[in-house]
Amino acid sequence: MRFRNFWCGRRRLAARLISAFFWASFLLPLLLAAPLLAAGSGEGPGPSPAPQPSSQPAPQPASPPAGADLPPAIAAIAAIPDAAPGDLAQGQRLYRANCAGCHKWHGGGGGGYGGAALSLRATALERPQIIETIACGRPGTGMPYHLRDAYAGAGCYGLAEKDLPAGMVLEANNFLRPAEIAAIADYVIATIKGRGEPTLAECRAFFGEGSRVCDIYEKPQ
């Protein structure tokens, strides 16, 4: 399992084809009852009929009310109070270790050699859905789940791993505790979501001194 988490979205398109078939044949009723899941595919209200390669995030449908339809374990995480402003160090550390390999330090994700992790800068998801996405991942895409018991019972999206075709859900490299998931979500919302192009200040805040990784933001392009 270990290497799966490294692939980011490279399997996204292939996986979507499988996922389209999968959802259609097994889960249509569930799907209709769970608009969130369909929103999760990033391409409108149902399983995508054909791959739509794009490094740009697909338009996000409006989010349902916060907390709606969340399984209890996820709702419990969403109920963790927001991080105090300025208290984002832990979230940043965890983001760097668990998310940056695919979404990049700046959260832009983007067209890759092997696919695309969606942009967290352009995401329309609210805190509960970001938490759900981190905890549950996205079945049929390259987004892994980070909560140990996400699919142990009928948890995330009402699914259990034992009932799913192999490879449908990806297990993260490291599992995260509920408080850690909330901390990452708060970090994403406070520093990444809604931002435009990455800036020098953001880069410095992420890497600190000692690496030349922020060079390109210093020089006028």
Partner 1 sequence: MKRTPFLLTAALGALLAAAPARAGDVTEQRLLNADQEAGNWLLHHKDYAAHRYTTLDQINPATLPRLHVAWTLALGGVEGGGIWSHGGLEGTPLAEDGFLYVTDGWGRLYKIDAHGGQGVLVWMMDPKTDHDWAGAVACCGVDNRGAAFWHNLVITHTLDGRLIATDKESGKIVWQRQVANPDKGEVVTGAPLIVHDMAISGVAGAEYGIRGWIAATDLNTHQEVWRTYTIPAKGEPGAETWKDDHDAAQNGGGSTWVTGSYDPATDTIVWGVGNPGPDWDNAYRPGDNLYTDSSLGLDAKTGKIKWFFQHTPNDPFDYDSVAENVLVDAGGRHLALEADRNGIAYAIDRTNGQFVWATPFVKKLTWTKGVDPRTGKPVDYDPQRDVQVYVASVTPSRENKVTMICPGNMGGKNWPPTAYNPDLGTWYIPVIESCNRITVQETIPGKSYKPREFFTGGGPSDPERITGSLTAIDAATGRITGKAETRYPLLGGVLATPSLVLTGEPDGTFHAFDAKTLQPLWQFPTGAGISAPPMAFMVDGKEYIALLVGLGGAWDKWFIDATPELKRIQPSSMLYVFGID
Interface positions with ligand HEC (CB under 6 A): 5, 7-9, 12, 40-42, 57, 60, 98-99, 101-103, 117-118, 120, 123, 125, 130, 133-134, 138, 141-144, 146, 184, 188
Per CB under 8 A, 94 contacts partner 1: no
Q: What token pair was written down for 55? A: 């490094």
d(CA 14, CA 214): 34
Of the candidate residues 113, 162, 209, 220, the single one contacting partner 1 (CB under 8 A): 113
In angstroms, rounded to a whole number, what is the distance separating the alpha carbons of residues 64 and 151?
A: 22
**Pairwise CA distance, residues 110 & 197, whole Å:** 12
Q: Which does 140 bind (CB under 5 to 8 A by kind): ligand HEC, partner 1, none?
A: none
d(CA 10, CA 112) in angstroms, rounded, equals 7
Closest CB 187 distance from ligand HEC, rounded Å: 8
**x/- string (CB under 8 A) for partner 1, residues 184-203?**
--------------------
54 lies in the binding site for partner 1 (CB under 8 A):
yes
- C-alpha span between 38 and 64 (Å, rounded): 12
Place of tokens 């019972």: 153
At 172, the amino acid letter reads: A
State the minimum distance, in angstroms, from the CB of residue 28 to partner 1: 24
- Report the residue number, 53 or 86, with the smaller CB distance to partner 1: 53
Residue 115 Cβ, how far from ligand HEC at the closest point, in Å? Answer: 6
Containing 12, the helix (H) or strand (E) segment is helix 12-26
Question: Near partner 1 by CB under 8 A, which window of 36-44, 62-70, 71-79, 111-119?
Answer: 111-119
Which of 79, 107, 97 shows the shortest CA–CA distance to 191? 107
Q: Return d(Cα 16, Cα 110) in angstroms, integer.
A: 17
d(CA 46, CA 28): 9
For partner 1, the binding residue among 104, 138, 146, 193 (CB under 8 A) is: 104
Enumerate binding residues for partner 1 (CB under 8 A).
1-7, 10-11, 13-14, 51, 53-55, 100-102, 104-105, 108, 110-115, 173, 207, 211-213, 215-216, 219, 221
